[in-house]
């Protein structure tokens, strides 16, 4: 685990962009494509600020969703909808580079369909290996739509699982499972603010078994980028 503590939000975004650029450039040099997973929440606003200035070949990016809300694309709750309005036009990313959930399906159907969409992009993989997953952490320790004490945490025969009782609204979502998350080459948590500090301590220092703490790629790296406030409860 690599812990990076940065002064404030701007510095968190800078650290985040530095790692994204490194992994993107390396992946494109090696594979001619960069497979990245996005999350919703405040991570989205970091990307909306940072990506328009990022110097890397965005035309080689394929963007997936670590989790997505099962809502219409034009809903304020749609994670893709957020990225569409903030990144298309401000960057060179094009709509067809986003691997989106299919509209008009139940969570169960959308999860199955999304699994098949992922499979097409990783045709030979036993488990897809993403270059980079960008993750957020809720104040209860959830990440993606993997919530504490939910049976979905132990899902080990699906890459993508549906959830219809998410404690964070909206209730209907699909999410990557730990099977796919922990097969990634790199995962980054990025967060700001003192409301994250108690949970950051419980996970990073007290090593409590909470979903965000279970992100430990078996053959990869996990980064935690925190601002001073989010890191505020950690022992110096
Ligand atoms: O709800 C979503 O769409 C998410 O992907 C979710 O897992 C998010 O990353 C965390 O809830 C943290 O959200 P905040 O950064 O807004 O606290």
- 40-53 pLDDT, tens per residue? 999 999 999 999 99
- Which residue has the CA at smallest separation from atom 4 of ligand 1? 40
Ligand 1 centroid to residue 152 C-alpha, Å: 17
CB atoms within 10 A of CB 126: 7
Report whether residue 136 contacts ligand 1, using a CB cutoff of 6 Å. Answer: yes
Instruction: Give me the pLDDT at residue 67, please.
Output: 98
Q: Does the interface predicted TM-score (ipTM) exceed 0.90? A: yes
Ligand 1 centroid to residue 55 C-alpha, Å: 26
For the chain, domains (ranges, CATH) are 2-205 (3.40.50.1360)
Asked if residue 31 has pLDDT above 90, the reply is: yes
Instruction: Give me the pLDDT at residue 63, please.
Output: 98
């Amino acid at each position: 685990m690599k812990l990076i503590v940065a002064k404030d939000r701007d510095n968190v975004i800078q650290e985040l962009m530095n790692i994204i650029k490194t992994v993107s450039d390396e992946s494109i040099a090696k594979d001619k494509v960069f497979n990245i997973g996005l999350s919703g929440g405040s991570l989205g606003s970091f990307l909306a600020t940072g990506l328009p200035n990022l110097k890397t070949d965005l035309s080689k990016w394929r963007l997936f969703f670590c989790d997505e809300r099962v809502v219409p694309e034009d809903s304020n709750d749609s994670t893709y909808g957020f990225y569409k309005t903030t990144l298309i036009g401000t960057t060179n990313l094009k709509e067809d580079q986003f691997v989106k959930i299919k509209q008009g399906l139940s969570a169960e159907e959308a999860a199955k369909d999304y699994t098949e969409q992922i499979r097409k992009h990783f045709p030979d993989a036993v488990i897809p290996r993403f270059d980079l997953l960008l993750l957020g952490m809720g104040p209860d320790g959830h990440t993606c739509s993997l919530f504490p004490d939910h049976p979905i945490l132990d899902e080990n025969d699906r890459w993508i699982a549906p959830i219809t009782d998410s404690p964070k609204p909206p209730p209907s979502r699909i999410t990557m499972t730990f099977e796919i998350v922990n097969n990634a080459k790199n995962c980054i948590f990025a967060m700001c603010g003192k409301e994250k500090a108690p949970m950051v301590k419980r996970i990073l220092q007290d090593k409590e078994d909470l979903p965000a703490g279970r992100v430990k790629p078996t053959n990869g790296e996990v980064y935690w980028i925190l601002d001073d406030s989010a890191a505020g409860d950690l022992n110096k």
